[in-house]
Structure 1
Amino acid sequence: MSCTDQGDAEKLLKRFLEEFPNPLGTEDPLPVSPLSRKVSLQEVKGKSLDVGLRLLSDRNAPSWLSSAMCNAAVTELLKDDLSPHYCCQDAEQSQEDEPEVVLLQSEPLQRVFINKLREVGVAWQKQLPNPGAPSLRSHSCSVHAIRNTRRKMEDRHVILKDFNQLLGLQDGVEREYYAVFDGHGGMDAATYAATHLHVVLSQQEALKSGVSAAFKNTFTQTDDMFKIKAKRERLRSGSTGVAVLLSSDWLTVAWLGDSQAMLVRQGEPVTLMNPHKPEREDEKKRIEDLGGCIAFIGCWRVNGTYAVSRAIGDFDQKPYVSNEADCFSVQLNGNEDYILLACDGFFDVIQSADVPGLVLEALSSGEDVAQSLVAQAKAAGSCDNITVLLVFLKEPPKILTYNTSSATVEGATGEAAGI
């Protein structure tokens, strides 16, 4: 740990404990809303990590420290007897012909978690451990999201540069995780995926041997978890999703629906995926083989309803709307510039081939790249929510220098050839 990292951590811990000098009492309000009144045992870890990360992020904690503190606190929470927080089983639920789901009261549970977080802060203020220094390969990011002309913001995005530290993985493989989720019919499915999908991924045994298999299991399991919540709370929303895991020198992208990820290598776009849309020939056949159909109502829709053929949620149209993710892995060779993840609010109006030029233009003018790309999509006519997330695999000045030099060489060559 560098002196700067240690100094930042000490300052944060001091401020944190000044704000929370005593444990929260049973009547004290939560400093961060848990977003849900009830959680299942399966959801406790994801919900707690979400609360902790938001709490510490709001206080400008360094990413690596937030991840390490949240992991330490949730580890202690899960050692506790959580039965005092169990909810009484609803009579309606008990009559349903489904496995019994143990539910916990979210607010008192998160009060306990925040107190655990405070205990970690007290211990670490006395002696700050080295909880796994930040990865030497941690990449800088640019992200921007707007509601645009829509009534609600239903997009969610996740940036976890310290995936291993947050989720307690100690297998020596460096990992970073990035995701964009685009909700429809409400924000519940997108919020659920943004809260739980990375937790479920970290628990996959296949993660050590095959990231694609782990991702596929993860999307299906997350959808199954959300189905239980959606039925219990009568939720009808759905969400597309695209997630990227950087592990060692491999990039794996997994997706459901029409949110997309693209890679740019030496200024050239590299196709990583084909979005799931009902009019795609293989998706159309899959739907029709199941007895469904696609119909054109403003755009192609599954059974005349949803404009995507795979998603988390949308249970009224399962299995026509599938929860099976597709995956693609590529080995990185060091020539890559960046990865861009975005929802259809961006890709419906901006062509992949135009992205490198737009990024270069933003870098040249000193603009925030993601903010510039979102503005371009809005100017091009997008009325949808727009989220753009760039993960720079080279530092932006190097991308700018490389591309400027390449353009100069190409220009000189063209002049010499009389072009």
Structure 2
Amino acid sequence: MKYKFTIGLIGLIMSVSLRAQTQPDWNQRLGWSVDALSRVMMHDVVNPPAAARYYAYCLLGAWQYAAGADAAIPDPKMVLRTTIGKKNGGNDYRVTALFSILELGKMMLPSGYMLDTELDKFTADLKQDGMDTARIGRCRREAQATAREVVAWSRTDRYNQLSAKLRYTPKKGEGYWYPTPPAYMEAVEPNWRTVRPMLMDTCNQFSPLPCVAFDKDSSSAFMQLAREVYDYSHKATGDELASAAFWDCNPFAVSTAGHLAIGFKKISPGGHWMAIAGIACQQARLEFSQSVLVQAVLGLTLMDAFISCWDEKYSSNRIRPETVINRYIDPKWQPLLQTPPFPEYTSGHSVVSAASAEVLTYFLGDQFAYRDSSEHLFGLPTRAFTSFRAAASEAAVSRIIGGIHFRDAVDNGVLQGRALGEFIVSKIRGLRVPAFVQK
């Protein structure tokens, strides 16, 4: 009898142990879902401001479900003027939340149909977990209904009116932006400032200090900025060059050979920071609901950061270093990175990275060291960072090293992004959301 009891106890322990080993990693699945969005955006060559908008909306449904299941997570309505109703996914809220991310991507992205493969894989994984078809179906239908609500609200943000705006014409004058080689693309999203912000009150709420005025005199402050960029291209260290490549994040990169132009698809700056958030949430072993909140708030931050930055870009319409250096210093000079197709001031990477770093620092701390492997897809090695702010600082300076921004666009862009990030953190802190502690 004792023998049988021992065997039974061992069997029970092994059964419990086996189930524990096969418990799904919901943070990993969240990261996989967001990464699926990024891959479709790369396929579609979605521009950086539009990519940020997609991240913001595609995480909203998941945030609603997290708030419905976890009393510590505030409802989005507490900070957003949204028409989306409250949700309660019950015990299956994680499943419904992830379905909502993928369903929103399917509905909103130009090639959203590509996410059918991810939806099928997720369904198969759930069945492998032991979830029956009826429960899976209920979760997916609920997620689809929520996705339709989010899409309906997104259609009120004036994004759909952009195509009806007048085509952008570069301003005439020596100090203004003009299309750059090799593709001489037209300006990207010149009317982005008209899109409704998520958390800011207005597009110019965080306008930066004015840029240094254009002056082609060789001794002017402006030409000193240009000379710094030019000199950097000849003295940058190997690690500095590596950092510039790591933070390139240019979806518009093109290689030309004769009449042939080949595009290199890369992740957007916002996509890079979403990947960093995913890495950090998994490393910190946050609860699923906490990870959803971190990444949803980051999505909103990215959207507002691009609206703020793009408002300034098309207010100052500033010339790029490549154009200045080719005209007045060295006609054969080329930047390390390809110049993106929009005005120079302020630096988008500086604004977006500084804002993102403030939000992530609030949630996860100022000494959160991590290893960023998000650029492996593009053949770039992992880079280690001691904090989110350190990463943001490197991202900002990399634009000078890369030859595509002047110093004041970087420094003032950091201040602009930091002010926005602090504003968003103040809103989250006002909801009594505590910082999340690593486990």
TM-score by length of 2: 0.26
TM-score by length of 1: 0.26
More helix by share: 2
Higher relative contact order (CA 8 A, sep 6+): 2
